[in-house]
């Protein structure tokens, strides 16, 4: 496609699809017109992919996920179709910079964090590998809230990504399923029949996901909830207009908001309804497709794989058994075995509070037949493997992790360490009973979005050095190692980083009014705010460093900017206090005339995929400082390493594997290991001991406790100070001293820019293994037991 073809297509859509005259078109119109022109290029490979999968009778992979944090789609599609240059030229002709058009797209925040972003990377990789697959999720009207700060505090506002027409989706009014809730189970002809009391409609919206080089496209099918009855005409006619639309309002609530607050009973109920809603619709849709091709249900495990992204779709186990047994007549034991042959479960957390459990009362009320089936599943499992501790039902609760484990033929962790810990902790008993079930599949990230799209300067440099094969085969980055002794290469590497940093400096100046020095080290921690991720360890170190610079302002300090980004769950009070503290510290430090040339702190609001794409290429240092044993994997850590930002980190999650790949000399390790953390906690007064042993830490904590960062409001941050000097469950204090040491090593290393750039480039050269293409190949080989539908030559 030439740039004039693309320009004609854009102008055609502007006129005939959007009804706009070019003379009056605004940026949004151009963005929509470009999206439709690009979408046209996806449609043929998309249809071809469907036809190929049917013709080849390939096994299909269904990725069930409550979250797909896809971000913006236009640039990704243009990059994968190889149309970036063409689009630049087309818009040069049209007199508008392409970047202006691309940045007009809303960021689809249909996820909270790593789990949702992983699902988005996986779907892209499955398309790039030409594997027949489908992502199933929920089309939330409102994604993750918008974050702003008022006097340093997080404020949440609803997010409205669907306010403008979504250019990428196709509404499927014909693809609908009736989803029931409540009611009772009756016996008919010796069979159990669920008669739900309430119900709603799940309607599909399809978004094509194009793979690298446009060879294959899969579908992301998101369900939207619609009422079975639009409104109650009798009530309307009698003048009760609000009550007349109640059924519609109730039904739509299901797909209105991503993870509503589940601290209230109503919130919990809504979340379970969301889970059943999208899982049930997805299973029925997949079964319908299977039954259009095959008439033997025993073939199901050969032809269909359902991957459960965490426990959120774990109701798939009992629902699939119900569909096979109650609705299709397969004997119960066969139904369970068949369902298990199709299902596999990915665990993303060991935190007990995040492992879902539903009260039996709630499950029985909303899904009475499923509760009976869960009892049967437990009984069948106990008959095979007697051990009461391995049940899904316990103490009046349904444990969704255990249910997913029992109903999955494979259960995977997301990093090597996390997988080992799963075996030793949450699934200890089940692992003993099923020693082959737990396997590891370390996470990965798509190089198309996270290097080629986000970091064009680095990408050009890599391609100039080793050709462009790395985009589809990231391990080719190892070929960069031979270029590292070439000073010219390292200079160009440094120039690319510098260019990215300058872009960020300009953006921060424009958007936050804060001046940053591009020569300072950009030290970045971006992720959800959580105690285990320890943003408070980072800010404590900033406070201690500030105090030290004030004591000794003429020493040879390495200038640093600490950049934070991330949202706290609206109900997570302590996480919100951490945000408040960081913002208060930033205000004091940035206004300090003595220290601010050496140390600044910036908390960028509303962290999302787009902001990550801006920040990661401009980062020098990646903060991965979680309490060992708590971060299942991390994926941000991989994006930083790939973009040439060495890590300061603990031996947690995939940091362990990153360190092995990039080399211990190119990773700033600190802190206790997971077993050391457990042992340390045994000392009741571990925090007091750590504080007593480190005057720097004691002084930094004093500043948190007094009014240093809360002028006129002493005690504002006392909660954090008390937590850290008391219980300190996440052992912030006990890791502080070693973190300080490692940070000073970072300072010294950064001061030698030649050495630093080499280390940064080595991180890029040695991180090719962390591609989500590699992760997907692992799932294909070890879990789904299928492969691409096209050969490397596209046949
Ligand atoms: C994340 N989990 C893990 N959960 O924390 C991270 O280590 C891992 O890399 C990533 O999954 C992918 O495996 C995560 O993002 C959530 O967002 C929860 C979803 C349900 C509500 C609570 C947060």
pLDDT tens digits, 323-368: 999 999 999 999 999 999 999 999 999 988 888 999 999 999 999 9
Q: What's the confidence (pLDDT) of residue 78?
A: 98
Instruction: Give the span between the Cα atoms of 127 and 73, in whole angstroms.
Output: 14
The confidence score (pLDDT) of residue 262 equals 62
pTM: 0.97
State if residue 120 touches ligand 1 by the CB under 6 angstroms criterion: no
CATH number of 470-770: 3.40.50.2000
Average pLDDT over residues 536-555: 98
Q: What integer pLDDT is reported at residue 355 of this predicted model? A: 87
In the reported structure, the alpha carbon of residue 113 is separated from the centroid of ligand 1 by a whole-number distance in angstroms of 6
631 lines ligand 1 (CB under 6 A): yes
Atom number of ligand 1 nearest to Cα 634: 9
For residue 117, give the ligand 1 atom closest to its CA. Answer: 12
- Pocket of ligand 1 contains residue 259 by CB under 6 Å: yes
Q: Which of 52-66, 334-348, 376-390, 719-733 has the lowest mean pLDDT?
A: 376-390
- 119 ligand 1 Cβ < 6 A: no
* CA within 13 Å, CB half, 322: 23
Q: What is the pLDDT of residues 676-697, one digit of tens each?
A: 999 999 998 999 999 999 999 9
pLDDT band at 237 (very low <50, low <70, confident <90, very high): confident
3-state helix/strand/coil string of 668-681: EECCCCHHHHHHHH
**67, 111, 113: residue to mutate for ligand 1 pocket, most atoms within 8 A of CB:** 113
* Separation CA 32–CA 169 (nearest Å): 12
Q: What is the DSSP letter of 464?
A: H
Helix, strand, or coil (residue 135): strand
At residue 261 the predicted structure's pLDDT band, cuts being 50, 70 and 90, is low
CB of 653 sitting under 6 A from ligand 1: yes
Catalytic residues: 348, 527-528, 533, 635, 639
- Per-residue pLDDT band for 14 (boundaries 50, 70, 90) equals very high
CA distance readout (Å), 74 to 106, 109, 138, 606, 741: 10, 15, 20, 21, 44
Domain 57-71+107-443+778-784: assigned CATH number: 3.40.50.2000
Ligand 1 atom 14: the closest Cα is on which residue? 115
Nearest CA owner, ligand 1 atom 11: 115
**Pocket of ligand 1 contains residue 614 by CB under 6 Å:** no
Q: Is the pLDDT of residue 422 over 70?
A: yes
CA distance 603 to 586: 8
- Whether the pLDDT of residue 260 is over 60: the answer is no
Query: Please, are residues 109 and 161 in contact by the beta-carbon 8 Å criterion?
Result: yes
Q: Is 638 in the pocket of ligand 1 (CB under 6 A)?
A: no
* Average confidence (pLDDT) over 612-632: 98
Q: For residue 389, what pLDDT band results from cuts at 50, 70 and 90?
A: confident
Give residue-wise pLDDT tens across range 491-517.
Answer: 999 999 999 999 999 999 999 999 999
What DSSP designation does 781 have? I
Q: What is the layout of strands, in order, in the sheet containing 133-138?
A: 170-181, 198-210, 217-227, 133-138, 60-64, 304-309, 343-346, 410-413, 438-440
The reported pLDDT for the residue numbered 246 is 77
Residue pair 207/169 in contact (Cβ under 8 Å)? The answer is yes
Cα of 229 vs centre of ligand 1, distance in Å, is 36
Q: How far is the CA of 634 from the centre of ligand 1 (A)?
A: 8
- What are the domain boundaries of the chain? 1-56+74-106, 57-71+107-443+778-784, 470-770
- Bridge partners of residue 600, in order along the sequence: 561
- Could you write out the DSSP letters of every residue in 480-537? GGGGTT-HHHHHHHHHHHHHHHHHHHHHHHHHH-----TTSEEEEEES---GGGTHHH
The finding on whether 113 has its CB within 6 A of some atom of ligand 1 is yes
Q: Classify residue 93 by its DSSP letter.
A: H
Task: Give yes or no for residue 443 CB within 6 A of ligand 1.
Answer: yes
Mean pLDDT over the full length of the chain:
96
Contacts 24+ apart (CB under 8 A), 96-104: 96/27, 96/30, 100/27, 101/27, 101/30, 101/31, 101/34, 101/74, 102/31, 102/72, 102/74, 102/75, 103/610, 104/27, 104/28, 104/30, 104/31
115 CA distance to ligand 1 middle (Å): 4
| % of the chain surpassing 90 pLDDT | 92
445 Cα–ligand 1 center, Å: 14
> Token digits for 31?
């963005």
Residue 795 has pLDDT above 70, yes or no: no
The answer to whether 57-71+107-443+778-784 and 470-770 have equal CATH topology is: yes
CA distances from 102 to 28, 73, 159, 609, 610 (A): 10, 9, 19, 14, 11
Question: What confidence score (pLDDT) does residue 243 get?
Answer: 79
Residue-wise pLDDT tens digits, 48-79: 999 999 999 999 999 999 999 999 999 999 99
User: Residue 412 Cα, ligand 1 centroid: separation in angstroms?
Assistant: 14
**Is the model's pLDDT at 230 over the cut of 90?**
no
Q: How many CB atoms lie within 10 A of CB 424?
A: 12
Q: Whose CA is nearest to atom 22 of ligand 1?
A: 354
Q: Would you state the pLDDT for residue 264?
A: 66
| 637 CA to centre of ligand 1 in angstroms | 14
- Predicted local confidence at residue 248, as pLDDT: 82
């Amino acid at each position: 496609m030439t740039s004039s073809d693309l320009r004609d297509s854009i102008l055609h859509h502007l006129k005939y699809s959007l009804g706009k005259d070019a003379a009056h078109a605004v940026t949004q119109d151009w963005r929509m017109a470009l999206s439709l022109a690009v979408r046209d290029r996806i449609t043929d490979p998309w249809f071809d992919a469907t036809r190929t999968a049917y013709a080849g009778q390939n096994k299909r992979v269904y990725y069930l996920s409550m979250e797909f944090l896809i971000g913006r789609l236009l640039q990704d599609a243009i990059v994968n179709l190889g149309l970036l240059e063409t689009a630049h030229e087309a818009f040069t002709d049209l007199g508008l910079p392409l970047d202006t058009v691309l940045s007009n797209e809303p960021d689809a925040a249909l996820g909270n964090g790593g789990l949702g972003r992983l699902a988005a990377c996986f779907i892209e990789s499955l398309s790039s590998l030409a594997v027949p697959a489908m992502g199933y999720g929920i089309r939330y009207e409102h994604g993750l809230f918008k974050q702003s700060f008022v006097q340093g505090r997080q404020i949440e506002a609803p997010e409205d990504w669907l306010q403008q027409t979504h250019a990428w989706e196709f509404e499927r009014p014909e693809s609908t399923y009736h989803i029931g809730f409540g009611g009772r189970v009756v016996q008919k002809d010796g069979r159990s029949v669920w008669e739900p009391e309430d119900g709603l409609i799940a309607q599909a919206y399809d978004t094509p996901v194009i793979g690298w080089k446009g060879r294959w496209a899969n579908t992301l099918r998101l369900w939207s909830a619609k009422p079975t009855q639009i409104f109650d005409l009798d009530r309307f006619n009698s003048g009760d207009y609000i009550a007349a639309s109640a059924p519609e309002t109730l039904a739509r609530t299901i797909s209105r908001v991503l993870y509503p607050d589940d601290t209230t009973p109503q919130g919990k109920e809504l979340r379970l309804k969301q889970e059943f809603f999208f899982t049930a619709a997805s299973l029925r849709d997949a079964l319908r497709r299977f039954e259009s091709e095959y008439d033997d249900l025993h073939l199901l495990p050969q032809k269909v794989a359902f991957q459960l992204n965490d426990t959120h779709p774990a109701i798939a186990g009992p629902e699939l058994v119900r569909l096979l047994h109650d609705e299709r007549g397969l004997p119960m034991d066969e139904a369970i075995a068949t369902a298990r042959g199709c299902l596999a479960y990915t665990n993303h957390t060991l935190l007990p509070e995040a492992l879902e459990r539903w009260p039996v009362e709630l499950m029985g009320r909303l899904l009475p037949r499923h509760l009976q089936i869960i009892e049967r599943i437990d009984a069948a499992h106990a008959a095979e493997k007697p051990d009461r501790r391995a049940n899904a039902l316990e103490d009046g609760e349904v444990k969704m992790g255990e249910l997913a484990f029992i109903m999955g033929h494979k259960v995977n962790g997301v990093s090597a360490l996390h997988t080992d810990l799963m075996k030793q902790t949450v699934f200890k008993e089940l692992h003993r009973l099923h020693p082959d079930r737990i396997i590891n599949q370390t996470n990965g990230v798509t190089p198309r979005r996270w290097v080629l799209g986000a970091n064009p300067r680095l990408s050009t440099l890599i391609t100039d050095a080793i050709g462009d094969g790395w985009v589809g085969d990231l391990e080719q980055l190892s070929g960069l190692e031979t270029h590292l002794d070439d000073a010219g290469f390292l200079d160009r590497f440094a120039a690319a980083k510098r260019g990215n940093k300058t872009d960020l400096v300009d953006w921060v100046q424009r958007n936050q009014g804060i001046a940053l020095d591009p020569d300072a080290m950009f030290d970045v921690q971006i992720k959800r705010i959580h105690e285990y991720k320890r943003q408070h360890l980072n800010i404590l170190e900033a406070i201690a460093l500030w105090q030290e610079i004030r004591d000794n302002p003429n020493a040879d300090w390495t200038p640093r900017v600490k950049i934070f980004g991330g949202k706290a769950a609206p109900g997570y009070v302590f996480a919100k206090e951490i945000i408040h503290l960081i913002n208060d510290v930033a205000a004091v430090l940035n206004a300090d005339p003595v220290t601010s040339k050496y140390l600044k702190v910036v908390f960028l609001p509303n962290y999302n995929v787009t902001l990550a794409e801006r920040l990661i290429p401009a980062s020098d240092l990646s903060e991965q400082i979680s309490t060992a044993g708590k971060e299942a994997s991390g994926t941000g850590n991989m994006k930083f390493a790939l973009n040439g930002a060495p890590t300061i980190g603990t031996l947690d999650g995939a940091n362990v594997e990153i360190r092995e790949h990039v080399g211990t000399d190119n990773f700033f390790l600190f802190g206790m290991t997971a077993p050391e953390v457990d042992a340390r906690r045994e000392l009741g007064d571990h925090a007091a001991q750590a504080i007593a042993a480190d005057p720097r830490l004691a002084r930094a904590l004093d500043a948190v406790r007094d009014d240093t960062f809360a002028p006129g409001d002493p005690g504002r941050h006392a909660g954090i100070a008390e937590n850290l000097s008391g219980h300190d469950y996440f052992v912030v204090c006990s890791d502080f001293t070693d973190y300080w040491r490692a940070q000073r090593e970072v300072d010294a290393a950064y001061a030698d820019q030649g050495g630093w750039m080499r280390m940064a480039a080595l991180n890029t050269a040695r991180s090719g293994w962390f591609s989500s293409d590699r992760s997907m190949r692992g799932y294909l080989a070890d879990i789904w037991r299928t492969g691409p539908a096209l050969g490397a030559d596209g046949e």
